[in-house]
Amino acid sequence: MPQPLRAPCIHHRLDCMSIIALILLVALLIPIMGIVVDSPIGRALARRLEGPQASPPAVTELAKKVELLEADVDDLMRSVQALQDENAFLQRLLEDPSQRPTLPPAKNP
Over residues 5-57, the pLDDT tens digits come to 665 555 666 688 888 888 999 899 888 888 888 888 888 888 888 877 766 77
Whether 73 maps to a domain, the answer reads yes
Whether 5 maps to a domain, the answer reads no
* 36 and 68 co-located in one domain: no
Could you give the number of structural domains in the chain?
Answer: 2
* 32 and 60 co-located in one domain: no
Percent residues over pLDDT 90 in the chain = 26
* 31 and 60 co-located in one domain: no
Domain residues for 44?
10-51
CA 87 – CA 94 distance, rounded (Å): 10
Contacts of 93 (CB under 8 A, 6+ apart): 100
Can you give the pLDDT at residue 87? Answer: 95
* 58 and 44 co-located in one domain: no
* 43 and 63 co-located in one domain: no
* 58 and 43 co-located in one domain: no
